[in-house]
């Protein structure tokens, strides 16, 4: 089965039906993919980092953990994870974060702008974009609470597999930020598979 490719610094949206599996692949290594999920039947129900951290009782989500919605329903279950290091604290990079963190560099729409454009046909507006589940993003929290953004630990071919627990609209990017991928913009691949 041939994966679909998300070109560097861009994003896509698609439907993922209950039981289908989404595999997010880092084809070259050291790249981040921001993942959003909405209830297809009512897109006001959306991925929530707060509910997920509350119910899963960890910020280091990996195989076996579930991603929850703002209405306390499970949207996705992580079935397989060859990296074990993802982030669910930070918002998608955006024009605002580029201006904030990289004032001397060219501004890009970022994952936020790419997600907004890809999700617009589903009736999802900018203000409905919460914190994404940032696949492969490496955000250690120090004992003093300080947050760092380090290059991902993912190597070429590393992947995370998520099973849909309801019919979803998914947003997915190949990240545009400088810090999150060590300054090298790369593609992201993904596969959708039916159950069984």
Residues near its own copies (CB under 8 A) are 44-45, 48-51, 53-55, 57-60, 70-72, 89-91, 94, 96-97, 100, 127, 129-131, 141, 143-148
Shortest Å, Cβ 11 to its own copies:
17
Question: Closest approach of Cβ 5 to its own copies, in Å?
Answer: 27
| Smaller CB separation from its own copies, 72 or 184 | 72
Q: Which residue has 């545009």 as its token pair?
A: 176
Return all residues near 159 (Cβ < 8 A) that are at least 6 apart. Answer: 23, 24, 25, 26, 80, 81, 82
Nearer to its own copies, 23 or 77 (CB): 77
Give the C-alpha separation, 81 to 85, whole Å: 9
Q: Min. distance of Cβ 20 from its own copies in angstroms?
A: 25
Contacts of 118 (CB under 8 A, 6+ apart): 11, 12, 13, 171
CB-wise, 37 or 129, nearer to its own copies?
Answer: 129
Element (H, E) at 34: strand 33-39
Q: What angle do CA 37, 32, 11 make, to 5 degrees?
A: 55
CB of 196 to its own copies, least distance (A): 31
Q: How far is CA 60 from each of CA 38, 42, 140, rounded to the nearest angstrom?
A: 22, 28, 10
Is 29 or 92 the residue whose CB approaches its own copies more closely? 92
Pick 25 or 78: Cβ nearer its own copies? 78
Question: Closest distance between its own copies and the C-beta of residue 133, in Å?
Answer: 11
Nearest alpha carbon to residue 87 among 29, 150, 142, 138: 138
Nearer to its own copies, 7 or 50 (CB): 50
Nearest CA-CA partner of 107 in 195, 176, 22, 5? 176
* Minimum distance of its own copies from residue 102's CB (angstroms): 13
């Amino acid at each position: 089965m041939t994966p679909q490719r998300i070109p560097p610094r861009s994003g896509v949206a698609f439907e993922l039906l209950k039981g289908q599996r989404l595999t997010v692949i880092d084809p070259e290594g050291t790249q981040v993919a921001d993942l959003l999920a909405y209830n297809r039947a009512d897109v006001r129900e959306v991925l929530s980092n707060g509910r997920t951290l509350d119910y899963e009782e960890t910020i280091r989500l990996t195989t076996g953990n579930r991603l929850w919605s703002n209405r306390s329903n499970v949207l996705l279950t992580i079935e397989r994870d060859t990296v074990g290091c993802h982030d669910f604290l930070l918002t998608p990079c955006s024009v605002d974060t580029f201006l904030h963190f990289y004032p001397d560099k060219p501004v890009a729409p970022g994952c936020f702008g790419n997600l907004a454009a890809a999700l617009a046909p589903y009736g999802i507006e900018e203000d409905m974009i919460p914190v994404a589940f940032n696949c492969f993003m490496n955000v250690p929290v120090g004992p003093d609470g300080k947050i760092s953004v380090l290059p991902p630990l993912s190597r070429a071919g590393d992947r995370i597999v998520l099973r849909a627990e309801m019919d979803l609209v998914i947003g997915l990017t190949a990240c545009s930020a400088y810090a999150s991928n060590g300054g090298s913009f790369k593609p992201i691949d993904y596969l959708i598979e039916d159950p069984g």
